[in-house]
Amino acid sequence: MGAVEYRPGLEGVIATETSISYLDVDHEEIVVRGYNLLDLARQRTYVDVVGLLVHGSLPDERGRAELERQLLAAANVPAELWQILRLLPRQMDAMDRLRTAISALGGWDQAANSADPEQDRASGLRVIAQSATIVANLIRVAEGNEPLLPDDRRSYPENFLWMITGREPSAAEVRAFDQTLIAYSEHELPNSTFAARVIASTLADLYGALTGAVASLKGPLHGGANEAVMEMLLEAGDEEGLERLIRAKLARKERIMGFGHRVYMRRMDPRAQLLKETLAQLVTERGDPEGEKLLRMCQRGEDVMRSEKGLFPNLDYYAAPVYWVLGIPIDLYTPIFFAARTAGLVAHVVEQHAHNRLFRPRVLYTGPRGLKP
């Protein structure tokens, strides 16, 4: 093999072509099929973004209404799936339950063994709808309770949030939740999307690719960070507590969850700015003193990390307090990330299957040679 540069963690390596999304760091823009993700979050709905990602273009008003109707109509899951989830050990992590559920779901799809992009789209829309129902009910079913089934008289985000909390959300809460779904919907080639594309590149099916993506997303360096952020904020208690905690962690050379990013590293993740605004709007509209305290704490943490490490928050840092204010159980933060990201993942599996080349890189061998057995 000729001289090929080795980049640990594939940092900066171009691993695939895509027309789905691109992180334009210099212009601080997340491009999703030509649109700025933040414009989409401010002006459109998550269902619009599902249409953009899966079908390739933003739907008009009628198209959005039809897609929303389709998603809500497909949101029920086979009753046997709840039985499977009930049989799992009680203490099993919510992301591991979700991984099992997504894998099992393929069993009810006749087309599960296909690598046909059109089939991926059709199955993908069903999984986007069903993943919300599964995620919302992970804790309820683990605790031996009946799932709260989808209510198709509600909008997609309202139904999702209602299934999670079991209470009527306000319009402001639904809008804030919808913005987090858009923020999480797609982000170029993070570990989980890469994992999904690597799996799809063997012509394995959508369900296998999505199951691998859940496993990847669980890790605290990736999707698991949003739950770790909330644990940290709760442990800290207030602004001074957070500053002390961060300084103590840094002194022990520990990582502060919700900061840093392989691609943005020394810049603010645009999604963090978006969700910071979402949090501020939500707490102002509700006149919520606990939410206001969380916002002040997050600002203090941001200031300390900027001055001490030159590091900026990523979206998980602000998604966590938004979910807390919405009354969402912490164990569901990362599963919600997956449910939202399913839209982007489906788009990537479609694209991989449509223009496939098997992923099969090489290694820099550092082991011994010439040993005799």
Clarify whether 261 is annotated catalytic: yes
**Cβ 149 to ligand CMC shortest distance, Å:** 30
Please tell me which residue in 261, 269, 348, 353 is annotated as part of the active site.
261
- Residue in the block written with tokens 């063997």: 202
Indicate the residue type of 52: L
CB 256 within 8 A of CB 250: yes
C-alpha–C-alpha distance, residues 34 and 24, integer Å: 11
**Cβ 261 to ligand CMC shortest distance, Å:** 5
Closest residue to bound ligand CMC by CB: 260
**Cβ 316 to ligand CMC shortest distance, Å:** 5
CB 361 within 8 A of CB 198: no
The DSSP output letter for 147 is P
Backbone angles phi, psi at 115, to 5 degrees: -125, 30
Choice between 204 and 229, CB closer to ligand CMC: 229
Backbone angles phi, psi at 220, to 5 degrees: -65, -20
Residues that bind ligand CMC (CB under 6 A): 9, 190, 221-223, 225, 255-262, 309, 311, 314-316
**Cβ 318 to ligand CMC shortest distance, Å:** 11
Choice between 150 and 260, CB closer to ligand CMC: 260
Q: What SS3 state is found at 112? A: coil
Clarify whether 348 is annotated catalytic: no
Clarify whether 355 is annotated catalytic: no
Please tell me which residue in 120, 178, 205, 316 is annotated as part of the active site.
316
CB 58 within 8 A of CB 34: no
Choice between 73 and 221, CB closer to ligand CMC: 221
Choice between 33 and 309, CB closer to ligand CMC: 309
Indicate the residue type of 218: K
Residues with active-site annotation: 222, 261, 316
